[in-house]
Chain A
Amino acid sequence: MNTTATQRAPAIELLEVGKSYGKTAVLSGINLAIAPGEFIALLGPSGCGKSTLLKLIAGLEELSDGEIYVGGRLANYLKPSDRDVAMVFQNYALYPHMTVRENLGFPLKMSGVAREEVRAKVESAAALLQLGEQLERYPDELSGGQRQRVALGRAIVRQPLAFLMDEPLSNLDALLRVEMRTELVRLHKRVGRTTIYVTHDQVEAMTMANRIVLLHKGLIQQVGTPAEVYAAPANMFVATFVGSPPMNLIAGRIESSGGQRLFRGPFDLALDGLAPAALGDGPATLGIRPEQVALVGAGEPQALPASVELVERVGPDSFVLAHLADGAALNIRVDAATPIREGDHVFVRLPPARLRLFDAAGMAVARERA
């Protein structure tokens, strides 16, 4: 899959990492190699274990299983401060009783850096983050965005091997979040450190990360570039979690009749090339992205009748919720200029090249021809 990142020695490597609280396993069998300078997003719904994984890497939680290597060193038994990572917390975790200058300098002061050097590093970080004016202020005198910058600055001054960020933008309002997103990407380009970024926001993951690690129920569902994850989801969870509106899933069965293999569901579809021979008959699910469903004229081959229930206009596009003949729901994304209204009867076509097939277990089935 992604070969560009894994050629050098990984900055952080996780081997069979697992974490359980009592009998409840929160994470299991996590294997991941993160290349130096890479921006990795840990994406998943709340409770999927992504924050726990970050804390395991930081050393704030103890591993139950497996090994963690940071910069080639086994980190399992290293104190958080000895792991050469810096963390940015969701609620910033600035020390309220210290000024911005003291907050930024505190990690350096604690590791015994000379006062003059602390001063220089703090000022350069403050300049990088446009905090020069705020150095003598206390955290409660700052705006949300400024606090966020201080939290980032506190990580930057340490010049660690890696940044660990735990939903750093989730406390900001929508506008500021977009702004800070860009700023973070710019910062990553400039500072060039390995970054692990935890988020439940797929837009953040898609726009910022080199690679996305999708977590669900404590297991890695897929690792890949944003494009890979979007275009070729590894299973039905990824298919529905990534993308908004999510991928359409149409339940049905695979049946063989007279040497031909058919998908039987709300409509019948010949599966030439879509499913490998190894896949037997049985329940299966077809998936297609909303923007890949085509609106066609009545006469076209493979046109399926559908009735429009809802049209949501979101600026450049419209999200259309339609129902196929048997009631199966279908999300369609069309250009806003398309003349379509609620109650309309339309015809849609699902281009076979765009269809994804999932087996009974919900795993993506590779196409027969690559």
Chain B
Amino acid sequence: MAQAVEAPAALDGADLRRIAADHARIRRWRRRRNELARHCVLALVTFILVAPFYYVVLASLKNGTEIFSYPPKLLPIPPYFGNYEKLLWDTGFLRWMFNTLFVAGAVTTLKIFLDSMAGYALAKIDFTGKRAVFLLMLILLMVPIGALIVPLWSLVSGLGLTNTYLALILPPLANPLGAILMRQFILGLPRDLENAARLDGLGEFAIYWRIVLPLIKPGLVVLAVIIFTDQFMSFIWPLIATTSDDLQLLTVGVAALRAHGGANYGLWSASAVMSLVPVGIFFFVLQRQFLARSLAGALKQ
């Protein structure tokens, strides 16, 4: 501004208080405005994410005619539990759920153990052909599952494993992603830690078990979440590897519901909701721990 600014006259206490109050008011107003804008955006995103899920939950609690009534009822009052009763008692749902939890649990447990050991070897032990092995694993990552199905099936059936739990558990163990991930985690541990352990008299396995494993816990949790959800949702291989109803997994069973018995949207919705429950619990429990630990690790350095 071109106007000459007059030097402010001496201010007394009342003036200073008034100025401070003005600034406080402005700050408060700006803060509120920003917060409101932020919340509007968040609300929109939340709506987009939650609406379809809510619609499915809603449908699962309505009977066949209510589902198609117009305008749709936005609250399921009174709730209709017929879909859930039918799902749990008239279909193989509980069996599929057990199978899925058993297979996914077994794969996750075994794989975490194998992958962390493989990762330790790749990160910390010098052996002939280490580079070749690692390269091979990287290449394997690029092979799509579709290309593996046929040879895998002939391998599994050649071993006489079709229609066994082993057919569902063994093949996913060969996925190299986990070992590569663990290698990266373990490479990040200082070499001196291992040296200290060696001087303390630890052998190779003891170093892995007592020093490395506790320190890569965040990595293990990440890996567990990835493997478990991946197993929980895998469809193609379980579909091909098993024909027996007793070994059916959730994904396959729920898909079969759709193929047989006509269009029952309520039942389908109920199966979708129920399928999500264990993954939800698993995520919720592990993710909290994972978040806390990864943050602690980040601040340490």
Determine whether A111 belongs to the interface, using a CB cutoff of 8 Å to chain B: yes
Most-contacted residue by chain B among A86, A96, A140 (CB, 10 A): A96
Neighbouring A residues of B114 by C-beta, 8 Å: none
Contacting pair A97 B215 (CB below 8 A) = yes
Determine whether B300 belongs to the interface, using a CB cutoff of 8 Å to chain A: yes
Contacting pair B202 A110 (CB below 8 A) = yes
Q: 5 other contacts beyond A85-B199, A86-B199, with CB at 8 A cut-off?
A: A80-B195, A89-B195, A90-B192, A91-B190, A107-B200
Determine whether B193 belongs to the interface, using a CB cutoff of 8 Å to chain A: yes
A81 vs B196: C-alpha distance when bound (angstroms):
10
The answer to whether residues A107 and B193 also contact, given A95-B211, A96-B215, A97-B215 and a CB cut-off of 8 A, is: no
The answer to whether residues A80 and B192 also contact, given A96-B300, A97-B214, A97-B215 and a CB cut-off of 8 A, is: no
Contacting pair B195 A107 (CB below 8 A) = no
A23 vs B143: C-alpha distance when bound (angstroms):
39
A60 vs B196: C-alpha distance when bound (angstroms):
9
B193's nearest neighbour on chain A, judged by CB, is: A93
Determine whether B78 belongs to the interface, using a CB cutoff of 8 Å to chain A: no
Determine whether A254 belongs to the interface, using a CB cutoff of 8 Å to chain B: no
Within 8 A of B (CB), among A70-119: 79-81, 85-87, 89-91, 93, 95-97, 106-107, 110-111
Determine whether A58 belongs to the interface, using a CB cutoff of 8 Å to chain B: yes
Query: Which residues of B line the A interface, CB within 8 A?
Result: 190, 192-193, 195-202, 211, 214-215, 296, 299-300
Chain B's nearest CB lies how many Å from the CB of A290? 38
Contacting pair A89 B196 (CB below 8 A) = yes
Chain B's nearest CB lies how many Å from the CB of A327? 48
Q: Shortest 7 CB-CB distances between A and B: which pairs? A: A81-B201, A93-B192, A93-B196, A97-B214, A107-B200, A89-B192, A110-B201
Contacting pair B211 A107 (CB below 8 A) = no
Contacting pair B201 A87 (CB below 8 A) = no
A90 vs B202: C-alpha distance when bound (angstroms):
20
Contacting pair A107 B215 (CB below 8 A) = no
Contact-residue size bin, chain A (C-beta under 8 Å from the other chain) = 20 to 34
A58 vs B191: C-alpha distance when bound (angstroms):
14
19 A-B residue pairs with CB within 8 Å: A58-B199, A59-B198, A60-B198, A80-B198, A80-B199, A81-B198, A81-B201, A85-B199, A87-B195, A87-B196, A87-B199, A95-B211, A97-B214, A106-B200, A107-B200, A107-B201, A110-B201, A111-B201, A140-B299
Chain B's nearest CB lies how many Å from the CB of A12? 15
A298 vs B197: C-alpha distance when bound (angstroms):
66
A86 vs B215: C-alpha distance when bound (angstroms):
23
Chain A's nearest CB lies how many Å from the CB of B14? 49
Chain A's nearest CB lies how many Å from the CB of B186? 14
Chain A's nearest CB lies how many Å from the CB of B238? 38
Chain B's nearest CB lies how many Å from the CB of A33? 23
Neighbouring A residues of B198 by C-beta, 8 Å: 59-60, 79-81
A90's nearest neighbour on chain B, judged by CB, is: B192
A55 vs B195: C-alpha distance when bound (angstroms):
9
Q: Which residue from A86, A93, A110 sits with its C-beta under 8 Å from B190?
A: A93
Chain B's nearest CB lies how many Å from the CB of A69? 18
B214's nearest neighbour on chain A, judged by CB, is: A97
Contacting pair B199 A95 (CB below 8 A) = no
Neighbouring B residues of A111 by C-beta, 8 Å: 201
Chain A's nearest CB lies how many Å from the CB of B250? 37
Within 8 A of B (CB), among A119-142: 140
Neighbouring B residues of A87 by C-beta, 8 Å: 195-196, 199
Chain B's nearest CB lies how many Å from the CB of A103? 10
A166's nearest neighbour on chain B, judged by CB, is: B192
A337 vs B291: C-alpha distance when bound (angstroms):
62
Neighbouring A residues of B214 by C-beta, 8 Å: 97
Chain A's nearest CB lies how many Å from the CB of B92? 44
Chain A's nearest CB lies how many Å from the CB of B190? 6
Chain B's nearest CB lies how many Å from the CB of A157? 11
Neighbouring A residues of B296 by C-beta, 8 Å: 140
Contacting pair A140 B300 (CB below 8 A) = yes
Neighbouring A residues of B195 by C-beta, 8 Å: 55, 58, 60, 80, 87, 89, 93
Neighbouring A residues of B202 by C-beta, 8 Å: 81, 110
A106's nearest neighbour on chain B, judged by CB, is: B200
Neighbouring B residues of A96 by C-beta, 8 Å: 215, 300
B198's nearest neighbour on chain A, judged by CB, is: A80
Neighbouring A residues of B190 by C-beta, 8 Å: 91, 93
A172-210 CB mask vs B (1 if < 8 Å, else 0) is 000000000000000000000000000000000000000
A55 vs B299: C-alpha distance when bound (angstroms):
30
Chain B's nearest CB lies how many Å from the CB of A84? 11
Contacting pair B192 A81 (CB below 8 A) = no
Chain B's nearest CB lies how many Å from the CB of A301? 59
A86 vs B193: C-alpha distance when bound (angstroms):
14
The answer to whether residues A81 and B211 also contact, given A90-B192, A93-B193 and a CB cut-off of 8 A, is: no
